[in-house]
Structure 1
């Protein structure tokens, strides 16, 4: 086994260990009977509705991705093919954090012949747009629940202390970035004729072409409308589960929005499928709303568990589907 493989296994085990420890710490005092009682008392029509909405959100995400990789001079990528590749990526994220972005690009490259670098560039565009919408959602939550948002932010982050540290250490950070840039420049200048550097440059050009795809969209309105719809569906997924569970059925739309924001931040953490971090942040915000701690943790477990189950089922189906497509193509 090579050193790189050992390093990857250590990183995987470390992230899984952190996620498992957080999950265990949160739920070590929760009895199975409490979870079962909550499940039985829940309105599963609402929860099934949340799964349907979530699945539609996944499909729209695939369609949006296909808009970015529609190359006028090359073969087109159907929304259906992009959706299945994206679902395989979500499935991979449950096993290895952030591996899904590379996996879905690799799957689509094998089935449609698109350069992996170009596809990664389009994924970078997607992630940048999603980050903008996340920031917009946080701003919206601040406007809707101003006092509560400010109170929570002050509990989680010591903003004055953070600003003092940034002001104190910015010269060191700037110097470090400058040195790093000079090292990269020296490396590429000295070894510019090396085969590896040529491959890196070609890959960078492919990525750049993928990033520039945002400038030549065939359906710009469809792209931006689908991006907005994805986040609306995130909110509806959270809201329908909240309506279906007695302990959270009385949450206001503003409070559900804050729960969604905290859940989204939890999913960004570099752990498998947001395990542990999603549960901790969602439970924390619900407790601030007056939900009993046990019920708050069970709510987080229900919504995360049902979404993971959805990804497992649809992701496995998409993986089998793309394997069959790849076999036929070969």
Structure 2
């Protein structure tokens, strides 16, 4: 058990170290005065509106989660408790990457008596759908800003030469694809008992079972609509804050969509709260859009910093509220013991 905790400690320390190093590398040459000047010159009405929209997103995500929690065990999960659990999860993610998903499930297990395994299964379904929506958003951004996508790709690879090479070697290309597919199939067959292969197979099985599970919900339409609306809200959060900062006020909706996509990819990275990776990717795409390097990095710092402050404040409030609630007990156990705290209603 001791070795397990030591391993977890080093994993957290390494991810935090990487995040801090990336953040330091990005901002080491930017004067604090530049950041303060940008903050002072920003229109905080737009930024506050962005935070309000972000809060609506957290509520919508919480409501979507309640649609998945369809079980007869324990006490029915209300929107309020789901919301507080989600905010606690976001708070924990700021400290330990990915641990927030376990934390929010643990909170509802304690207060509502729903099993941890069941709740974690609903989280896997959520994340699977979010991944599909992210891929769809990336494709939409490519359609809207195709020229910019191709320009970025051409900086890395000579697309014309690559296209000519593929056309002149079609048999080799198709043969290589066929060999690659057969190789993947052989690896999965030959090493199906290996830990990594098992995890990959389990991951894809969970996605498929999750998609089937959505069709059996009492409100599948509400689930799909809320999943799409969440990404609309993410876009509006980014779009409104872009209006509030002078350097990004003239960005088009398509350009803001690209910034949002890059920021979302940065948040996926296994570091605390996307620190460093979010800033690097957002600043990179803004520079490609003609924003100065300093302004791009400051924009990333402002939007990430305001979101972090929101999660810290609201997450702590939610944690205090949920910790004051009594631990759920089965009715046959509860009837033998009178506890005034059990009358608490959230």
Category of TM-score, reference length = shorter chain: 0.7 to 0.9
Q: Which residue of the partner structure matches residue 93 of structure 1?
A: 93
Aligned ranges 1:121-270 → 2 under 5 Å: 121-155=121-155, 173-182=184-193, 213-270=213-270
Query: Residue 232 of structure 1: CA displacement?
Result: 0.6
Q: Deviations over 1:152-177 (max 9, x none)?
A: 2454689979x989877665554443
Query: Residue 79 of structure 1: CA displacement?
Result: 1.2
Query: 1:183 & 1:31 partners in 2: Cα distance?
Result: 51
Unaligned runs of at least 5 residues, structure 1: 188-205
Query: 1:156 & 1:107 partners in 2: Cα distance?
Result: 46
Q: Deviations over 1:282-329 (max 9, x none)?
A: 000000011010000000000000000000011111111111113545
Q: Does 1:53 align with 2:64?
A: no
Q: Deviations over 1:106-159 (max 9, x none)?
A: 111111111111111111111111111111111111111111022224546899
- Whether the aligned pair in 2 keeps the contact of 1:70 and 1:77 (CA below 8 Å) is no
Number of residue pairs aligned between Structure 1 and Structure 2: 309
Q: Which residue of the partner structure matches residue 75 of structure 2?
A: 75
- Whether the aligned pair in 2 keeps the contact of 1:68 and 1:217 (CA below 8 Å) is yes
Query: 2:207 & 2:110 partners in 1: Cα distance?
Result: 17
Query: Residue 227 of structure 1: CA displacement?
Result: 1.1
Query: Residue 76 of structure 1: CA displacement?
Result: 1.8
Query: Residue 221 of structure 1: CA displacement?
Result: 2.0
Q: 3-state DSSP class of the match of 1:326? A: coil
Quote the RMSD (CA, aligned, Å): 2.8
Q: Which residue of the partner structure matches residue 2 of structure 1?
A: 2
Unaligned runs of at least 5 residues, structure 2: 167-172, 199-205, 328-340
- Whether the aligned pair in 2 keeps the contact of 1:120 and 1:207 (CA below 8 Å) is no
TM-score when normalising by structure 1: 0.86
Query: 2:318 & 2:158 partners in 1: Cα distance?
Result: 44
Q: Deviations over 1:93-117 (max 9, x none)?
A: 0001111111111111111111111
Q: 3-state DSSP class of the match of 1:30? A: coil
Q: Which residue of the partner structure matches residue 64 of structure 2?
A: 64
Greater Rg over alpha carbons, structure = 2
Query: 1:73 & 1:284 partners in 2: Cα distance?
Result: 48
Q: 3-state DSSP class of the match of 1:120? A: helix
TM-score when normalising by structure 2: 0.82
Go from structure 1 to structure 2 and tell me whether the alpha carbon gap of 1:10 and 1:183 turns closer, same or farther (over 3 Å shift). closer
